[in-house]
Amino acid sequence: MKLRLVRARRGTLWVQQAFRVFFRQPLAFTALLFVFLFGASMLKVVPMVGGIVMLTLLPAVTLGFMIATHEARAERFPMPTVFVAPFRTDRARVKALLQMGLGYAVAGLLAMTLADWADGNAPSLQDAMQAGQAGGAVMDDPRFQRSLLLHLLLGAPVSLVFWHAPALIHWSGVSAGKAVFFSAVACWRNKGAFIVYALTWAGVVALFGVLSALVFSLLSMPQLIPLAAFPAGLMFTTVFYISLYFTFVDCFEVELPDMAAP
């Protein structure tokens, strides 16, 4: 395993590569996303423990999408078994993955708790929608915008610290502590590429918003914009998870096994 320093413009390439892989097998990757969402919804109904378990397993889920991307690049059809593949390795790697996942859950909960405490009684989009308030009205609320920005500012560092950790544990066999450390160093040393990566994603989402608003306005059917936003959101989420693979293989020189997921 060797750290690579990449140019800032590689951030855009990561997104482009992810879209190419997605459109190569869109149904397979969309099915994987629905499997993940179904599992997450099942865990959410479990009081207290469900949310913690979901956060703990989230790094393993992202690793599953990375394994699926590796399979797709090898012209193989990614199956839902990619989500259990991380737990079919040796005991040391499974233990490290769970330790790292628990650390991610604790850090994530602390960040969310701190953000909730700092933003006071700012309205959430979910609560407003449940109360029947228009989503657009909520998003125009300055308190909601500040709350969203605060959650992003506190959550982003946690995500970046753990960004490469699942893949480092799975493919390099390092301990949980080393994986988190190497992940943080890699993100910091390649911060230019990650900034461009984030800006590229922001541009993709903004471009879709502008184009969809323009098209449906010309058709005099602006009420259909939310209907178009839902499938687009699913696609962007899936492609984002695919792009994690390219951020990893670009930032680390690691020999990946050319074999199907168990």
Q: 162: number of CA atoms within 13 Å, CB side?
A: 27
Instruction: Name which residue leads in pLDDT, 189 or 121.
Output: 189
pLDDT at 221: 82
Per the structure, the count of domains in the chain is 1
* Residue where the block lists tokens 């703990």: 56
Q: Report residue 127's pLDDT band, with 50, 70 and 90 as the boundaries.
A: low
The reply to whether 260 falls in a domain is no
Local confidence band at 133 (pLDDT 50, 70, 90 cut-offs): very low
Q: What is the mean pLDDT of residues 147-164?
A: 87
- Residue 132 binned pLDDT confidence (cut-offs 50, 70, 90): very low
Of 66-70, 105-109, 141-145, 157-161, minimum mean pLDDT range: 141-145
pLDDT at 224: 80
pLDDT of residue 220 exceeding 60, the answer is yes
Q: Is residue 164 part of a domain?
A: yes
Judge whether 170 lies within some domain.
yes
pLDDT confidence of residue 218: 86
In a domain, 207, yes or no: yes
Whether residue 207 has pLDDT greater than 70: yes
Q: What is the mean pLDDT of residues 51-72?
A: 95
Handedness of CA 139, 207, 28, 193 (dihedral sign): negative
Mean pLDDT across the stretch 163-169?
Answer: 97
Residue 227 lies in a domain: yes
Q: 3 phi and psi, to 5 degrees?
A: -75, 135
Distance, CA of 86 to CA of 243 (rounded, Å): 18
Is residue 189 one of the residues assigned to a domain? yes
The answer as to whether 261 is a domain residue is no
Residue 219 has pLDDT above 80, yes or no: yes
Is the pLDDT reported for residue 60 higher than 90? yes
For 182-191, write each residue's pLDDT tens digit.
999 999 999 9
Structure tokens belonging to residue 215: 């098209």
Residue 200 has pLDDT above 80, yes or no: yes
Nearest Cα residue to 104 out of 28, 169, 148: 169
Computed over every residue of the chain, the mean pLDDT equals 88
Reply yes or no on whether the pLDDT at 85 is more than 90. yes
Q: What is the pLDDT of residue 262?
A: 38
The residue range of the domain holding 40 is 2-253
State the pLDDT confidence band at 222, using cuts at 50, 70 and 90.
confident
Tell me whether residue 235 is in a domain. Answer: yes
Q: Is the pLDDT of residue 142 over 80?
A: no
